[in-house]
Amino acid sequence: MSTTPADHTPRADGRADDELRPVKLTRNWLDHPAGSVLVEFGGTRVLCAASASEGVPRWRKGSGLGWVTAEYAMLPASTNTRSDRESVKGRIGGRTHEISRLIGRSLRAVIDYKALGENTIQLDCDVLQADGGTRTAAITGAYVALADACATLGKTGALTGSVAAVSVGIIDGVPRLDLPYVEDVRAETDMNVVMTGAGSFVEVQGTAEGAAFSRAELDALLGLAETGCAQLTRMQREALAGA
């Protein structure tokens, strides 16, 4: 299905430019929450837990509508060099805030609040090991945990679709899919794309890390992301079809 053109350096892990890393979705990794998934994108491992509780935040009470929210965090030893614990620093960094908000928005894009009723599902995405693409792995895994939590609640109707996410980027002038850490740090442009299972866009976040990018490069990256998300959607479906 995918090939590496002869005219540029191959990827360190031997993948084609439009090829995902090995992806693994392990459901029910935890005993307590309503849904839980250990998601792996190559060396990136994120534990996604979906805790369900009756009731909604104060500002939503009596509306008949549910709520879905998310928190993302990295374990200190998940990164190449140990990172300080945010609880010890006493404040959450901008990057953490940003990703937590992104995950929450992405999941809410496929939720029918009315069908969920006045219930809250809280997603916790904790990065156990980081090797690039932690936020996209988190969204992809969190969707599966969310689906399990909806089922546990008897609210499968609360899901209007599925979401998956993948990173794409330009390395040495070549657009590539699903960047591991070694590629991510060298990328001139880095984009995270969240899509529904039906092929529409939920979030597009592209950043020029080095040089600004042209409209043509942007188009190439969007194309790669469409390919990647379609495959992830298939894997999510298979995982949910399992026991």
List residues forming the annotated binding site for phosphate: 95, 133-135
Distance CA 22, CA 242 (A): 18
Please provide residue 128's backbone torsions phi and psi, each rounded to the nearest 5 degrees.
-85, -35
Which of residues 6 and 168 has its CB atom nearest to a second copy in the complex? 168
Which residue number, 5 or 173, has a Cβ lying nearer to a second copy? 173
Q: Is 129 in the site for a second copy (CB under 8 A)?
A: yes
- Establish if 195 lies at the interface with a second copy (CB under 8 A): yes
CA distances from 18 to 115, 179, 182, 238 (A): 37, 10, 17, 21
Provide φ and ψ at 109, rounded to 5°.
-65, -20
Near a second copy by CB under 8 A, which window of 2-10, 15-23, 30-38, 234-242?
A: 30-38
Q: Which is nearer to a second copy, 4 or 101 (CB)?
A: 101
Question: Scanning the structure block, which residue is given the tokens 């040495």?
Answer: 172
Among 1, 12, 88, 241, binds a second copy (CB under 8 A): 88
Q: Does 191 help bind a second copy (rule: CB under 8 A)? A: yes
Residue 139 near residue 163 (C-beta atoms within 8 A): yes
- What does the CA dihedral 3, 19, 109, 39 come to, rounded to 10 degrees? 170
3-state secondary structure of 53: strand
Q: Which residue has the tokens 């053109």?
A: 5
Structure tokens at 7: 């005219």
Q: Which of 16, 28, 65, 73 binds a second copy (CB under 8 A)?
A: 73
Residues 95-114 that bind a second copy (CB under 8 A): 95-98, 100-101, 105, 109
The verdict on 49 binding a second copy (CB under 8 A) reads yes
Q: Are 109 and 164 a contacting pair, CB within 8 Å?
A: no
- Please, which residue, 92 or 235, has the CB nearer to a second copy? 92
Decide if residue 146 touches a second copy (CB under 8 A): no
Residues that bind a second copy (CB under 8 A): 30-33, 36, 43, 47, 49, 51, 53, 71, 73, 75-82, 85-98, 100-101, 105, 109, 122, 124, 126, 128-129, 131, 161, 191, 195-196, 198, 200-208, 211-215, 218, 222, 226
